[in-house]
Amino acid sequence: MTDLTAIPRLARSLARVVEIARTLVKYGLGDVLKKLDYNFVRRWTRDTEVARLSEVTREARIRLALTELGTTFIKFGQVLSTRRDVIGPALGEELEKLQSGVPADPFDVTRATLEAELKRPLAELFAEFDEVPLASASIGQVHRATLRDGRRVAVKVQHPGIARRIEDDTAILAELAALAERFVPELRTYRPVKLVAEFERTLTRELDFRRELRHLQLFRQAFARDPCVVFPEPLPALSTGRVLTMELLDGTPFNRPDELRAAGADFAALAQRGARVFLDMVFRDGFFHADPHPGNVLYLRPTLERPGGAIGLLDAGMVGRIDERLRERIERGVVAAISKDSVALTEQVVQVGEVPAHFDAAALQCEVADQLAFYHGMPLEQFQLGPALNEMTDAVRRYQVALPPTVALLLRMLVMLEGTGRTLSPAFNLTELLAPYQRTLVMKKLSPRRLLRRLGTAVEDWDELLRSLPRRAGTLFRMVQQDGVSVQLIHRHLEPSVNRLVFGMMVSALFVGSSLMWAFGAPPLVWGASAFGVAGCAASAVLGYRLYRAIQHTGRLEERDEGE
């Protein structure tokens, strides 16, 4: 059902709706729009003359369409790329190519935002401030600056009006998702309404720079004892929800191999060190940076404190958290994969994910067993974790199992991590680095401390249940006394029996009445017999025979019900 509260916003954004519709048609996606029961969309797109981009794949056309639609849709595509369990690996890889660079705001606009947020003139806040931004992305732009104490910082400033534009676009997206789920059956498997809701939550959080500031603080605490891993230090006094000031890391991104080579970096060592950082986040901390593309990972040159150099990490806006229960599921899944136990691995997938009503667990188990058998025993130098995870994710998608967002982020992070490692060193193999963590998982699972903690959790759960039982029982009794409990009985296949009963009573009444009319010679008379009495008895005989035959054949009143 269409959300009536969204109509005013849609009416206010009619030009944007037209632009979206025409763009979808332009890139060969009009077949979806034609199935939507929105007359005004169909009217605006009916006479549009656009060239079909038949020479590119459907996935590429989706990426190009999202790029043309701008900031919100680019971010939507980037979030979608994390959900390969829903959209599939092919579209996920294509959407990872989305670039969110946008023209920078004029410096006067940036200055006004900074001074309004930080409540002081720019000259009092910074000794120097570079008017030309280092980069400008979809949500904000980053400037170099120098504090009055001489420290060099990076200042991330949100584009003005971006929150309102995103709010309007997400309202349109939500409406289109509802229409697509209702009128386009082939899109229902993608769960568009849930995807858009998840995207809205993610983007709303990303618009609040205080979250990224807190993420940086948590990462710095986790790696405080490792001088070879550096996260920028955030400055809360110079940060708000729309401004983030942090330490400027002077390093070389992993996507610039020539500069890395000139800096004397060891590519193979860098790939392994960078991967271990992310694996520590997952298996040690349960809190991981979810966007390890080469541009976000820096090589910091050697210093007296770090003679071997260091790994620097940027953009902590997208993170994943693994709670204790999910960690146990992941650990069991890893152990099951190592032991080639397809039953246990499928069970973990089902318990973690959301399965459809008519889910075929046996079929998924057979597919998982085939994949495990294919990779089992393969030489380590031939095994690639990325393609293996993509195959598993594709199988999960085909069986319409929706994984939790954190698990989807984790899988994407591992695939991206292997890809980043291989850009530096073609011989890089993430599976080799996973081996020590696998052994640690097995040991942690059997550790007495872990068993005691699980036992304590179980005892607390039972204690809470027993304590709440009298209260819940009392609530139930009060509801019974106040007639607040109703019992709903659902009768299956009862309607044919009721139909037979009612029909039989009507036939019986017709027969009795007609017999009385015949017996007492109720006029009009034909050859001395009541015409209505004879006709009624004949009709009741025919109807009674029909009822008898229907019950004999199907047990129902109508023989056409036999195929039901």
The residues that are catalytic are: 291
Element (H, E) at 319: strand 319-321
Q: How far is CA 221 from the centre of its chain?
A: 29
Q: How far apart are CA 384 and CA 337, in angstroms?
A: 15
What residue has token string 């070389």?
A: 252
Q: Are residues 160 and 113 in contact, defined by beta-carbon separation less than 8 angstroms? A: yes
Q: What is the DSSP string of 186-245?
A: HHHTT-HHHHHHHHHHHHHHHT-HHHHHHHHHHHHHHTTT-TTEE-PPB-GGG--SSEEE
Q: Are residues 326 and 406 in contact, defined by beta-carbon separation less than 8 angstroms? A: yes
Q: How far apart are CA 466 and CA 187, in angstroms?
A: 45
Q: How far apart are CA 429 and CA 449, in angstroms?
A: 33
Q: Which amino acid makes up residue 485?
A: V
Q: In 3D, which of 160, 136, 156 has the Cα closest to residue 144?
A: 156
Tokens of 214: 């807190």
What residue has token string 């698990």?
A: 407
C-alpha distances (whole Å) from 352 to each of 179, 259, 349 are: 29, 43, 5
* DSSP single-letter state for residue 47: T
